[in-house]
Structure 1
Amino acid sequence: MKVSKHNAEHYKWGDDCDGWHLVQDDNLSIIHERMPADTAEVRHYHEKSRQFFFVLTGTATLEVDGVEYILNSQEGKEVQPLVPHQMLNKSDKDVEFLVTSQPPSKGDRILVLKL
């Protein structure tokens, strides 16, 4: 069966953000996420999970260990385990992106204070 955000398991998070589980197993997670304008996730790190963020549409800001990276459509950035990070949408339009986590990040999230 083909999978897309139209038939994948959907969930809400943060301030009206959306997520769709495209791949969800013990070894790999791929999530399609949407963040409305002027929203942000909570800054955190993962003890085991290595992640890759890839912007599909819009412009996102990914803060990684105190450095902000502007990710435009069709650009991505890897985040290693134990590295604090935060995805932000500082733009005035929605941003959609993929988050690939290996192993899956569920239950592996440690919140950290703002810089």
Structure 2
Amino acid sequence: MISKHNAEHYIWGERCDGWRLVDQENRSIIHEKMPAATSEARHYHQKSIQFFFVLSGTLNIEIDGVEHTLREQEGIEISPFVAHRAFNSSQQDTEFLVISQPNTRNDRVLVN
């Protein structure tokens, strides 16, 4: 059994947390937590399709120049080569799952 209490933990971006729930070459599932007023760098993936699903709070995702606001129990899919970034513009932490197929390790290209 796996949970964020026993999964591999890492820090990313501006004091954000990630827990690797599934870490296989063909798929990854990560539980992430973004504190209020944090963001990640705009980027795309060359191979991976990603699905973001909000567990608590509100998550903003800019996809190819269009901003989407996801609330609890809402998700969105992002195709390869589509520039995106997640950010939390609220005053509360947000927690969400990121499901990637295949795994995004070494598949991230930063965009200005």
- Normalising by structure 1, report the TM-score: 0.96
Give CA-to-partner distance per residue, 1:77-102, whole Å, 9 cap, x none: 00000000000000000000000000
Aligned residues between the structures: 112
Amino acid paired to 2:103: P
In the alignment, what sits opposite 1:28?
Answer: 27
In the alignment, what sits opposite 2:94?
Answer: 95
Amino acid paired to 2:98: V
Gaps of 5+ in 2: none
RMSD (CA atoms):
0.4
Identity %: 61
In the alignment, what sits opposite 2:39?
Answer: 40
- Normalising by structure 2, report the TM-score: 0.99
Give CA-to-partner distance per residue, 1:48-97, whole Å, 9 cap, x none: 00000000000010110011000000000000000000000000000000
